[in-house]
Structure 1
């Protein structure tokens, strides 16, 4: 039975930027065409091609909850400030429903904390655990959620400069699918030497305030800040008589599959994102009144965006639409750009005003649209607007907003018919401690033999037992010339994607390329490239900024490389959720497939080990023999950290049957919750993993006594494992499912951990054997008929995911 999808409205706004301590100040400055791109005070910019940026110069430490925290990264401070304002604006502070979610975008996460931590670590000093928690990319979303009492889905998206817009779109999907009634959606990034040195190495920075779309533009201006929107189910908002700023209609994602940093010169990929957003919204190109453009001020980006708008809207409609760049006033906020620019787009509709492109000087024949130079335009009526965000790695995102009218109807044409589409798994692959072969993996998992763990040196040269990748050669998948320009993470992602495509008999051609997507999950991302790029800069300054390394420092580069090598050019995103990242990528793929955004999606997770990463886990207290002071939850930790990559093909049943391929399993539903304390420790009283399992069961219409097995997260962190086992016992009190795990072989493979678990679950259903955990936490292999399983995953810092799989019937 089809369900009517709820409309999604914007009921709260919060922002902090170089031109405003809050949203009202931001809007007043934007309408006035005032820019805040001036000399930077917080960083030493000596030796770089510019010393200006859109720096936030307002005091941050005045908030009471910031005073209570020992270590707060600057990007997290921005997010907390914007979140507080957004909730006050929505009149929801302290009154959030239990299913409230949070989706945050970021490009560089806690970069300032990472720089501090790396300085300590390279000197051989230990760093306090709080610093490690602040530098994690998912630390922004999780800190905001802990502060404001959020218990629903918490998601971090890191699609570089497209992350903020992607966060808004995914948050709207969560509301439409019934996963949340309220979601805080936005993005945050702070100025850092890492970012300055990176764009300096690419010669992309302008020595004056950037001039998007101008004929004499010569580069971008960096900025910093945060923007958060409160998105809400319209019925929920109207029931509490909320003030509604605008409606979020739809969004479109795409991949260029063209180049690690440069956009497709004809805007091919970006045009597909714009066109997809318009089509999903049920409107016509000529309906669009205003586009808040990506508008960075670099020669290639602005001309490519002009081409993209023309391709998407058609020449006639493109000549009629008003376009402007907010970056001309606040700088490029990286992962926060789409969020703040989304706020400006919403206010444009609310006030019927077209914001200007500041600093505009002279027209460019290659940028021949109406780019609204220097002065705001007051319109009689604005109904529809788009916010564009395009990023390194070829990630493209466009979001469509509509002026709110309580009497208008939902226009999306595909939502109801897609809501009943069944989602199946048709391919799988893994690269890890037993190599690349699926049969070898299953033999190792089901043999009850000693684990294939090995020793790995940390930054101090001390040995640590790990689960490291064995018997893998990237040149089996990637030409040597291309592999030399890629880091280990990207090579792993491309390799495991190719294995999954082969396993699932999915051939990507020009006809289906835009219908096949890539969603990558990672816990620690490009640590190798971050170290290779930043350590020389830290020691030698600007002269050591190497342009060969910088493109690989953004977390979405791996997904971009997958798109380039496989030509999967559809939906593209990167999600960062600690050790639950694979499950998060599957959940996101599930939503996109149910919404008709793709026929098939490669859901991938990958993480690698480096000596400094091992030291970080020791600083956190998560590894044995750590020199860090351990809290109660870590005192009995036996976590064996690992590396590896996993991939599955998640596909609509219609597509799978059309292709006539074997189906491994069906994904019936999932649950996502959050339950962390403010210090990042798990709050057992909120029963987070138990609630996630309950939600998965409810969505799947499966009772607890129908579950044959639960693949537990079993991270070997005593506090977390005890809580999960207690939740399983409580939820299945009158049933007796097998409790299973493959971590006796694969260890805790960071973001890929749940991927190995899911593949083990699928193979257990296929082979009628399962690795069962005993009360003594050992593993025994038993024969069993397995038809329905839950696969649990935890981020280690409060996020919980439970996916329900069953045999396909």
Structure 2
């Protein structure tokens, strides 16, 4: 696929927020300084330090349906669909083929209401509706939205807490620039819940009055809910089809604070790195930035840290002259939706050349010495603007938007090949790829049966990696991640905590997320209310908390993001990291994927029909084993690896993504989505089927999925000699999101004696999202940096 340095244009926008049911309501309310924060009506607020929030009071009635319990609606899905329907209306029907239309959705809490309902049923001694399990995870949200519009391109979920929406737009822009889609529906969504209010209340972060960001008298944040969604296309595509643009996304930057689970780095150094990277990659100089839509939460620590970050990134003089405002002063903090909604506001600010105010800002704070636009909106030159979002776990994201039609062209990326230099793992079958390979060859794995489900758990001693004090507030998800990452870095010859590690980024993935922490935090609330909220546990309930712990404990402060793509997570994380490296976001990234077994995770899989005791019509036939574990893989730009003298274990040649987009959330029986992902991976790598030595299958013992994948493989290779086929997950178990990274570790080990012919590695989510990686195992011979078609590799 051809990579391009061209712009990415916002051609459609949709939003639902406390300011109204459309994107226009959002923009009109913000530019007029209208505060939508008021008494919350839909939730009991007793026992909290506030009664206020940015509540959506308009009817939330999407036209498209989704699979759910009859008497239950998942509000985060409804909000996302309403915003998506508005955004999609800007694009002529049929203009983009479904196979070239992707979805990237950011969320902090995903289907938290569904998870709460599940736990409530368990507490009450009733059987939870199995359909609740289909709505809990971030990928379930993304796949539900994609299926509603029959979009069959890449479908991904980004989960960097309050930076999720911004990260989703950045990833979507990457897919377009790399030629992996012609259009992407991207944005964020989060809904109010008593769980979320109780958590922020336990952290003493909630303001008893509408939030007043940057003001000397600020008293905390106001929570908000809603969704912001945009349709993105490449700028040349927009021009060719006469699509009206609102603004362009010129680039984005990511970074990790590596400092604290909830508090920002006080001097703003981490956030400044994200802003600086966004400016560098977009080709926008600090003096060209005419407006900043700030993170602006209204808390005592965040606002000064952000002010310092802007001064570091822009320089004292430019920061002093650049107006800044906070949308959160009017909508409340929309969590995972904030970055998307605020990007929409920033786009309209550029389009209408008007910088909106910060509501409630009246008294300057010496620690926040910038121009925060008090009172009313003011005219704006409208060349370029920043939209910043910073999150729990020290995840920072900054978007650069430019005026549409202004002719700004981001610089061409300094493309490079991406190689693999280190692997670390935590698995029930062993701690090294060699041990896993022997277990697979011998057909053995530690398995126990519980409630009709085959389980394979890790026997893990964390003392080698963490002291008791270090892991006192850390769940097993983070422990697995830290252990695997430490071993991978050591294998790559990078000293954790050293100067070299500071520039290394973390792209984390988890299929089911922090369900251990979610259960520990939520169950006491169901019985006792907000007073039972544990402030030590609440930070662990966000999906990116493990990434933050990895960064903090191992000293990694490069770009960071977190994806949750179900069973396809491991492959998706590797694919995204490879694109980040190829585009110059970093020289080295560690891709870490982890998932843990809990009683309720096992119960959910059993309810969905993956149990050995198969209910009539369920997809499992007694061969499926649910496993846990963690795998970390160090990826590097080849030039950086050569400079370090690193040992190259293999190379990521390309990848493909596709979705079945089934409203029933079942696999396509013919395997057409899997086949499209494999063909896209071959095209991206410049390969033909005859080049492939082996295919590492996603097959894990679920008959419907395994049969579909088998059909796809047979069609792809046709009359060509069929490659070797490996199905390690059918023996070692399906470690949920870890599977794609686990098979890579095995392929690298087995490939040492198999020559350097490429292999394909398949992964598929239970919702029909497919990712295929094309990888060369072993050092091999250097390939030309230009393939036979003259495309940059």
The 5 A counterparts of 1:755-766 are 755-766=741-752
Specify the SS of the correspondent of 1:695.
helix
Indicate conservation of the 8 Å contact 2:33/2:376, yes or no: yes
Q: Which of 675, 678, 681 does residue 696 from structure 1 map onto?
A: 681
TM (normalized to structure 1)? 0.93
Cα 1:654/1:533, change in 2 over 3 Å: same
SS in 1 for 2:643: helix
Residue 773 of structure 2: aligned partner? 803
CA drift at 1:450: 3.0
User: Which region of structure 1 is more displaced relative to structure 2, 572-581 or 60-69?
Assistant: 60-69
The answer to whether the Cα contact below 8 Å between 1:187 and 1:226 also exists between their aligned partners in 2 is yes
User: CA deviation digits over 1:430-485, x for unaligned, max 9?
Assistant: 11112323332232223x24332124x5xxxx363211102x21110112211111
Give the gaps of 5 or more residues in structure 1.
769-784
Could you say if the C-alpha distance between residues 338 and 409 of structure 1 is closer, same or farther in structure 2, counting changes exceeding 3 Å? Answer: closer
Q: Is the 8 A contact 1:128 1:620 kept in 2?
A: no
The CA deviation at 1:96 is 4.7
- C-alpha displacement of 1:679: 2.2
Instruction: Give the superposition deviation at 1:640.
Output: 0.9
Deviations, residues 108-142 of structure 1 (Å, cap 9, x unaligned): 00111111111112333222232111112212211
Aligned equivalent of 1:574, options 552, 559, 562: 562
Tell me if structure 2 keeps the 8 A contact 1:601–1:649.
yes
CA shift in 2, pair 1:96/1:73, >3 Å: farther
CA distance in 1, matches of 2:584, 2:49: 45
CA apart distance, 1:92: 4.5
Q: CA contact under 8 A between 1:606 and 1:751: conserved in structure 2?
A: yes
TM-score, length basis structure 2: 0.95
Are 1:444 and 2:439 matched, yes or no?
Answer: yes
Cα gap change, 1:64/1:551 in structure 2, threshold over 3 Å: closer, same or farther? closer
SS of match in other structure, 2:711: helix
Matches within 5 A, 1:165-176: 165-176=166-177
Query: Which residue of 2 is the match for residue 788 of structure 1?
Result: 758
Match of 2:428 in 1: 433
Give the distance between the partners of 1:353 and 1:12, measured in 2 at CA: 19
Counterpart in the other structure of 2:383: 383
- Aligned-partner Cα distance in 2 for 1:143–1:759: 31
Matched, 1:485 2:473: yes
Going from structure 1 to structure 2, the CA distance change for 1:718 and 1:387 (only over 3 Å counts) comes to same
**For residues 248-272 of structure 1, what are the alpha-carbon distances to aligned partners after superposition, in whole Å with 9 as ceiling and x for unaligned?**
1000000000001100000010000
Change (3 A) 1:330 1:96: farther
Indicate conservation of the 8 Å contact 2:357/2:376, yes or no.
yes
Kindly indicate whether residue 650 of structure 2 is the aligned counterpart of residue 665 of structure 1: yes
Map of 1:321 onto structure 2: 322
CA 716–666 in structure 1, closer or farther in 2 if over 3 Å, else same: same
Q: CA RMSD in A?
A: 1.8
2:4 touches 2:177 (CA, 8 Å); kept in 1?
A: no
Counterpart in the other structure of 1:777: none
1:164 aligns with 2:165: yes
Q: CA deviation at 1:69?
A: 8.1
Q: Does 1:410 align with 2:404?
A: no
Distance 1:66 1:708 in 2: 41
**1:449-468 correspondence to structure 2 within 5 Å:** 449-455=443-449, 457=450, 462=451, 464-468=453-457
- Matched residues in 2 for 1:609 and 1:484: separation? 19
Contact 1:206 1:221 in 2 (8 A): yes
2:625 aligned partner: 640
Q: Within 1, Cα distance between the matches of 2:33 and 2:261?
A: 33
For 1:313 and 1:409, how far apart are their aligned partners in 2? 19
Structure 1: distance between partners of 2:145 and 2:681: 25
Native 8 Å contact 1:357 1:374 kept in 2? yes
The within-5 A match list for 1:4-403 is 4-61=4-61, 63=63, 65=65, 70=70, 71-92=72-93, 96-379=97-380, 381-403=381-403
Summarize the Cα distance change of 1:637–1:173 in structure 2 as closer, same or farther, 3 Å threshold.
farther
Whether the aligned pair in 1 keeps the contact of 2:507 and 2:560 (CA below 8 Å) is yes
Q: Distance in 2 between matches of 1:615 and 1:559?
A: 26
Deviations 1:49-93 (A, max 9, x none): 112111111112363547998454100101101111001123347
Per mean C-alpha deviation after superposition, the further-off stretch among 750-759 and 501-510 is 501-510
Q: CA deviation at 1:746?
A: 2.1
Task: Classify the secondary structure of the residue corresponding to 1:428.
Answer: strand
In structure 1, how many angstroms separate the alpha carbons of the residues matched to 2:432 and 2:501? Answer: 27
Query: CA–CA distance in 2 between the matches of 1:509 and 1:487?
Result: 21
Task: Give the distance between the partners of 2:549 and 2:62, measured in 1 at CA.
Answer: 43
Q: Note if 1:555 corresponds to 2:543.
A: yes
* Helix, strand or coil at the partner of 1:191: coil
Quick one: distance in 1 between partners of 2:420 and 2:683? 21
* Aligned counterparts of 1:579 and 1:66: Cα–Cα separation in 2: 21
Where in structure 2 are there 5+ consecutive unaligned residues? Answer: 782-793
Shift of 1:547: 0.5
Partner of residue 736, structure 1? 722
Change (3 A) 1:2 1:711: closer
Contact preservation (8 Å) 2:98, 2:150: no
